[in-house]
Amino acid sequence: MSREPYAFSLVDVFTTQPLAGNGLAVIPDARGLDTETMQRVAREFNQSETTFVFPPERPGNAARVRIFTPTMELRFAGHPTLGTSFVLRERGLVARETERFVLEEGIGDVPVRVDPGRPGEAEVLWLTTPPIAFGPVFDRAACAAALGLEPGDLGEADPQLVTAGNPNIYIAVRDREAVDRAWLDLAGLRGLHGGRESTDAVFVFAAT
């Protein structure tokens, strides 16, 4: 590392309770860190994601943000965007009176809006999802097998790849009980991609 120390914040996103919600590590001034070091730092924190904040590249934007899991960099992710926005406001890097600002991420510009809420309530941050792209539809029986389920456990919608920066195979199942029974067979996941390794996530859900 080119300088010491680097400040960081550990935040819990999607909750008002400490040690609940989605954990996130944020380095609010990551200048001087290269990609390899950021990946090593993210592995050391071992949160689902760690974000690194840099000055914006385009005038008018609030910051440039890079997002890492312990093993790879992401172009976009929701809870890291919101958690980083919270830290920037708490540290005064985005003025508290600012109601709208933009973060630069791998996917492009991500607008963030601040909802002050009603008196006595905590403010809420909202982001605008990057453009959503719909990919291939997958064989239902193969998806069921990859989840340790029967084809009859699946819902009506066909399994499909959907992405707003991070590809997910969305697989609808018929009820909560099927969600709870599902487990991911990595060999079965490779089978969905013709035997190739894939970084696609699998999102199993039931309409309730």
pLDDT of residue 193: 74
* pTM (two decimals): 0.86
Q: What is the pLDDT of residue 15?
A: 92
145/9 Cα distance (integer angstroms): 41
Q: In the numeric block, which tokens belong to residue 20? A: 């609940």
**Residues with active-site annotation:** 49
Q: Is the pLDDT of residue 1 over 50?
A: no
pLDDT tens digit sequence for 131-185 = 999 999 999 999 999 999 999 999 999 999 999 988 999 999 999 999 999 999 8
Q: Which domains does the chain have, with CATH numbers?
A: 9-127 (3.10.310.10), 133-205 (3.10.310.10)
What percentage of residues in the chain have a pLDDT greater than 90?
Answer: 81
Mean pLDDT of the chain: 93
What ranges make up the beta strands (E) of the chain?
Answer: 9-13, 22-27, 50-54, 63-68, 73-74, 100-105, 108-115, 124-127, 133-137, 160-163, 168-172, 201-205
